[in-house]
Amino acid sequence: MRKQEAILLEAERQFARFGLEGSSIEGIAAQLGISRQNLLYYYASKEALYVAVLDNVLADWIASMEELGSVDTPEQAIAQYIRAKLRFSRERPSGTSVFTREVMAGAPLYRDTLVAKVMPALKTDVKRLERWAREGLIRRTNFLHLMFVLWASTQAYADLAPQFALFEGKEALDEQDFEAAEKLLTEMVLRTLKP
């Protein structure tokens, strides 16, 4: 269905910007040139639409992070992780922000999914870092908080992009910003983990 996806994307955009309560079904439908009731034909309620948006973003996010398994060295793995996460922030800033908003609200509607799907990925990453540390490939540090910092930083290039751009005197972040961010973050982590 073309239409369902269009609704999903527009809803994502508005939820990201205005939050669940700040967005209206009317506003989303209007932007798409359809009637409010027609939108409700596809998604039975605002909340259902919201959850569908989260589901959709999460699925894409998981897909985009999955390609990372087949990497040899810690350096490559870390560089790839940062690149993938930043790319997602760049290509899907709204999706990223909807998640941040949900988390900031205490994840009232998405806590279970967060625990079921996001937490395991994080735990796997931490365990891999710990294994590498045991093998002497990287220096030991607080890997969980390292992941938090990486998560927060890469996320911010979507969530806080307007502020960053404003401070740079730009309309929006551009490719150079994302390259600089990637370079810096990779540098920071690699230096931190150098044995």
Q: Which spans of this chain sit near DNA (rule: CB under 7 A)?
A: 1, 3, 23-27, 34-38, 40-42, 44-47
User: How does DSSP assign 142-193, residue by residue?
Assistant: -HHHHHHHHHHHHHHHHHTHHHHHHHHT-SS--HHHHHHHHHHHHHHHHHHH
141 touches, from its own copies, DNA, none (C-beta below 5 to 8 Å by class): its own copies
Indicate whether 181 belongs to the interface with its own copies (CB under 8 A): yes
Q: Is 41 in the site for its own copies (CB under 8 A)?
A: no
Q: 3-state class of 136 per DSSP? A: coil
Q: Which is nearer to its own copies, 134 or 183 (CB)?
A: 183
Using CB under 8 A as the binding rule, whether residue 155 contacts its own copies is answered as: yes
The residues near 87 (Cβ < 8 Å, ≥ 6 apart) are 64, 178
CA–CA distance, 56 with 195 (Å, rounded to integer): 39
Buried b (16+ CB within 10 A) or exposed e, 136-147: eebeeeebeebb
Residue 44 Cβ vs DNA, minimum distance, rounded to whole Å: 6
| Residue span binding its own copies (CB under 8 A) among the ranges 52-60, 62-70, 79-87, 113-121 | 113-121
Neighbours of 68 (CB within 10 A): 16
**Distance (Å, whole) CA 128 – CA 72:** 12
H or E stretch at 19: helix 2-22
Tell me how far, at minimum, the Cβ of 5 lies from its own copies, in Å.
24
Question: What's the min distance (Å) between Cβ of 26 and its own copies?
Answer: 12
- Closest contact distance (angstroms) between CB of 122 and its own copies is 6
Binding to its own copies (CB under 8 A) within 66-105 occurs at 97, 100-101, 103-105
Which residues are at the interface with its own copies (CB under 8 A)?
Answer: 16-22, 97, 100-101, 103-107, 111, 114-115, 119, 122, 141-142, 144-146, 148-149, 151-153, 155-157, 159-160, 162-164, 166-168, 177, 180-181, 183-185, 187-189, 191-192, 194
